[in-house]
Amino acid sequence: MTSRQSADRQIVVLGSINMDLVARCCTLPVAGQTLSATDFFEVPGGKGANQAVAAQRAGGNVTMIGGVGDDGFGSRLLHGLRHERIHCDHINVAGRTPSGLAMIVVSDSGENQIVVVPGANAQVGPEDVERCAEVIRAAAILLVQLEIPPATVFHAVDMAHSAGARVILDPAPVPESGMRQDLRGIDLICPNETEAAALTGCPVDSQSGLEQAARQLHDRGAKNVAITLGASGTLLWDGESFVTMDAIPVDAVDSTAAGDAFAGATAVHWLESDSLMEAVRFGNAAGALAASKQGAQPAMGTRADIEQLLQRQA
């Protein structure tokens, strides 16, 4: 299926919308340490909004469901999503509530530390899913993360699955209280190594440990598992065979939104091609592009960018 043929098939993203407050430092601070930043900037973020932008730029037709506060950040965040031509009619503006914030420190090597203040994201509840039921049931793919309440996420997962939509879960951040064990209804779960370990309790410092974690997530109901491994690529498990998809080498600048770029782009290509392996390859390229640039949403590559990188790699 071509991009043009799939243009009317919507990807619905339910998730967080944040303003990222980013400081760049030579290294990441350790406990009790004060460092001087070399730069600071504000940039639209939030895992849900990042993935919506990634999917839209990769050629998707995207609707965003979420919430912002009635503050200056909220209006800027909405303006940015509309500028990306994302459908925003189902984003609630919560009264007397701050918008979500993420405070991010990025080192010169591209590693990061992140503290998230949920704000309006914490108020996105199952009633919002019911309010948007028609949109969710009509989706070709529902893309969700865990920066809004998990009860809301899984209510939408069950609704979309019952309607025949594909569901992709990026299980980040892993809730401190744990995540629902039953993963039935999820067509693809895509944790990174750290998240896979937190979800399963499996050590992931070896190939056998990674495979054990993937099998456990599959046994819990997820139809396909893609564990992203940074510079080592992505381990894909479909319940029958393991495939390691190579990463595309880039000079890492900021890895903050690489996983979001992967999820959004993978959703678009999976919808178009119906080949998960090809979709993961496409997602790997999108993640590499994002890691090679600074910021979250500004780092998301266009479809042309992604295809050009894949051609150079080939």
pLDDT at 26 over 60: yes
In the prediction, which pLDDT does 284 show?
96
pLDDT at 1 over 60: no
pLDDT at 246 over 80: yes
Average pLDDT of the chain, as a whole number: 94
In the prediction, which pLDDT does 8 show?
64
pLDDT at 6 over 60: no
- CATH 3.10.560.10 is the classification of domain 11-17+47-92+120-313: no
Per-residue pLDDT band for 310 (boundaries 50, 70, 90) equals very high
In the chain, domain spans: 11-17+47-92+120-313
Q: Which residues pair with 91 in a beta bridge?
A: 66
Distance CA 262, CA 253 (A): 16
Distance CA 157, CA 291 (A): 29
Q: What is the mean pLDDT of residues 218-224?
A: 98
Terminal Cα-to-Cα distance of the chain (whole angstroms): 22
pLDDT at 4 over 50: no
20 assigned to active site: no
For residue 150, give both structure tokens. Answer: 């998990």
Per-residue pLDDT band for 2 (boundaries 50, 70, 90) equals very low
Per-residue pLDDT tens over the stretch 121-148: 999 999 999 999 999 999 999 999 999 9
| Range 259-278 burial, b when 16+ CB lie within 10 A, else e | bbbbbbbbbbbbbbbeebee
Q: How many helices (H) and strands (E) does the chain have?
A: 10, 13
Residues with Cβ < 8 Å from 87, sequence gap 6 or more?
62, 63, 64
Per-residue pLDDT tens over the stretch 170-188: 999 999 888 999 999 999 9
Q: Which is catalytic among the residues 128, 170, 254, 260?
A: 260
Looking only at Cα atoms, what is the longest distance across the chain?
Answer: 55
Per-residue pLDDT tens over the stretch 198-211: 999 999 999 999 99
Q: What is the mean pLDDT of residues 54-68?
A: 98
